């Protein structure tokens, strides 16, 4: 496919720039590839706003943003082809926003050794398979997901928490496990209940967001959980269906609450049922990379960044946050504040062993905590959780 034809297939180009010099003293032009719509009120919108943050804080920086970069929305269009066009427009840094882009961004990096590539959520540097010009960046959402699980278990009246999952991989199992650990801690240590009396069920839809005819319908999956008595739904999707379903059921008289995901302002969709949202704040970490690339000093690495617990919801300080929702009671908010402080200080480590996977195999032995690498590669859901733990 030639480049002219490719550009005809691209309906959303966030900013079109004249081709400029690639000299190091020129303002940085960077490409951002989003897996979903840039206005999805979720993962892709959070990344898009992170790119806008870079533009606002790095003098002269300009973003070339392409959304819906996935096989369903752009059949036959490859990452390598897209990168060719971005490079022709002067991009020196290419940011690939999703795990699904791994093979394509690797190919593009090899084809453009003079450009810098950043694969968000990837682990090529960690596994030693990355080209020299490709780095990895991700954020430790696990802690904010623990907060979501904590809030859910403090809120539930039925003792049944539903988790609306996307596709199944190491990342999605890892954050679902974190939500369960937060929920179990609240249920047992704070509410004084038995762990076996907490139901935590994960249902997967098959992709990061709904693709009609390809994935399960997240509205139906979330609705089914409510029908089964799950009165708090935690979302693992890029998009806010869990919240909209909870709002509709609430309007019909059901006592159901939800926690959306990814995007700081997600609760605005249905504040009356929103307990809070664990979210990515991509601006500061992307700005650090962009500044380094602009200065010619970026060294590709595997970066997995922790929240700044002292300034959790400061847009200039923490890469991960948790924004409390309107439906969160003052009593639970107070308990959450204490829980968050304990996580941040290290007084509470929910990854301390013993922990086991669903099949009974050891995840963390007694007396130790897992390394980042052990956390990153997550083959199963944890014992105590319901739902499929492997790709199907």
The encoded tokens of residue 328 equal 């969160």
Is the pLDDT reported for residue 11 higher than 90? no
Report helix, strand and coil shares of the chain as percent, to nearest 5: 40, 20, 45
Backbone dihedral angles phi then psi of residue 389, each to the nearest 5 degrees: -110, -5
Is the pLDDT reported for residue 26 higher than 50? yes
Mean pLDDT on 285-309: 97
Do 377 and 157 meet the contact criterion of CB atoms below 8 Å apart?
Answer: no
Q: What is the share, in percent, of the chain residues with pLDDT greater than 70?
A: 93
Per-residue pLDDT reduced to its tens digit, 119-159: 999 999 999 999 999 999 999 999 999 999 999 999 999 99
Q: What is the pTM of this model?
A: 0.92
Is the pLDDT reported for residue 76 higher than 60? yes
Tell me 235's DSSP state.
Answer: E
Place of tokens 């996977």: 357
Q: What is the share, in percent, of the chain residues with pLDDT greater than 90?
A: 92
Confidence (pLDDT) at 212: 94
The closest alpha carbon to 86, from 107, 64, 67, belongs to 64
Is the pLDDT reported for residue 251 higher than 80? yes
Average pLDDT over all residues of the chain: 93
Do 264 and 325 meet the contact criterion of CB atoms below 8 Å apart?
Answer: no
| Local structure of 242: helix, strand or coil | helix
Mean pLDDT on 208-234: 96
Strand partners of residue 281: none
Do 198 and 153 meet the contact criterion of CB atoms below 8 Å apart?
Answer: yes
The answer for residues whose C-beta is within 8 angstroms of residue 58's C-beta and 6 or more apart is 28, 287, 290, 291, 294
Is the pLDDT reported for residue 19 higher than 50? no
**pLDDT band with cut points at 50, 70 and 90 for residue 101:** very high
Strands 355-356 and 362-364: antiparallel
DSSP 140-204: -THHHHHHHHHHHHHH-SSSEEEEEE-S-SHHHHHHHHHHHHHHHHIIIIIT---GGG-EEEEEE
Is the pLDDT reported for residue 7 higher than 60? no
Domains of the chain with CATH codes: 3-139+282-310 (3.40.50.2300), 142-279+322-376 (3.40.50.2300)
Distance (Å, whole) CA 294 – CA 29: 9
Tell me 381's DSSP state.
Answer: P
Distance (Å, whole) CA 392 – CA 389: 9
The answer for residues whose C-beta is within 8 angstroms of residue 183's C-beta and 6 or more apart is 149, 150, 152, 153, 161, 198, 200
**Is residue 376 classed exposed, middle or buried when 0-12, 13-18 and 19+ CB atoms within 10 A define those classes?**
middle
Torsion sign (Cα): 325, 331, 335, 341: positive
Confidence (pLDDT) at 25: 64
Distance (Å, whole) CA 132 – CA 120: 16
Mean pLDDT on 280-305: 97
**pLDDT band with cut points at 50, 70 and 90 for residue 389:** confident
């Amino acid at each position: 496919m030639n480049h002219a034809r490719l550009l005809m297939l691209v309906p959303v180009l966030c900013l079109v720039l004249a081709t400029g010099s690639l000299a190091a003293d020129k303002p940085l032009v960077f490409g951002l590839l989003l897996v979903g719509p840039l206005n999805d009120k979720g993962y892709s919108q959070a990344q898009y706003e992170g790119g806008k943050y870079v533009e606002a804080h790095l003098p002269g920086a300009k973003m070339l943003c392409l959304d819906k970069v996935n096989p369903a929305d752009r059949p036959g269009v490859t990452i390598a082809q897209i990168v060719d066009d971005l490079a022709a427009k002067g991009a020196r840094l290419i940011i690939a926003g999703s795990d699904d882009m791994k093979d394509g961004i690797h190919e593009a990096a090899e084809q453009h050794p003079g450009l810098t590539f950043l694969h968000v959520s990837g682990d090529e540097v960690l596994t030693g398979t990355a080209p020299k010009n490709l780095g990895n960046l991700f954020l430790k959402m696990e802690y904010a997901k623990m907060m979501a699980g904590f809030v859910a278990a403090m809120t539930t009246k039925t003792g049944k928490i539903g988790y609306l999952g996307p596709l199944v991989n190491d990342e999605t199992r890892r954050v679902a496990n974190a939500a369960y650990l937060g929920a179990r801690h609240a249920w047992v240590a704070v509410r004084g209940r038995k762990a076996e009396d907490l139901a935590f069920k994960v249902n997967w839809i098959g992709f990061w967001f709904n693709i009609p005819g390809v994935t399960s319908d997240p509205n139906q999956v979330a609705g089914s959980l409510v029908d089964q008595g799950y009165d708090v739904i935690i979302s693992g999707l890029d998009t806010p269906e869990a919240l909209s379903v909870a709002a509709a059921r609430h309007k019909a008289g059901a006592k159901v609450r939800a926690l959306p995901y990814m995007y700081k302002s997600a609760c605005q969709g249905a504040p009356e049922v929103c307990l809070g949202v664990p979210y990515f704040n991509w601006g500061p970490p992307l700005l650090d990379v962009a500044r380094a690339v602009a200065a010619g000093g970026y060294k590709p690495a595997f970066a997995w960044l922790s929240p700044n617990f002292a300034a959790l919801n400061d847009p200039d300080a923490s890469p991960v946050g948790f924004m409390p929702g309107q439906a969160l009671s003052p009593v639970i908010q107070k308990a959450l504040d204490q829980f968050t402080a304990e996580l941040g200080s290290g007084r509470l480590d929910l990854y301390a062993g013993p922990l086991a996977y669903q099949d009974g195999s050891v995840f963390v032995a007694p007396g130790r905590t897992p390394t980042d690498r052990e956390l990153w590669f997550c083959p199963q859901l944890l014992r105590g959780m319901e739902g499929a733990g492997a790709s199907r």
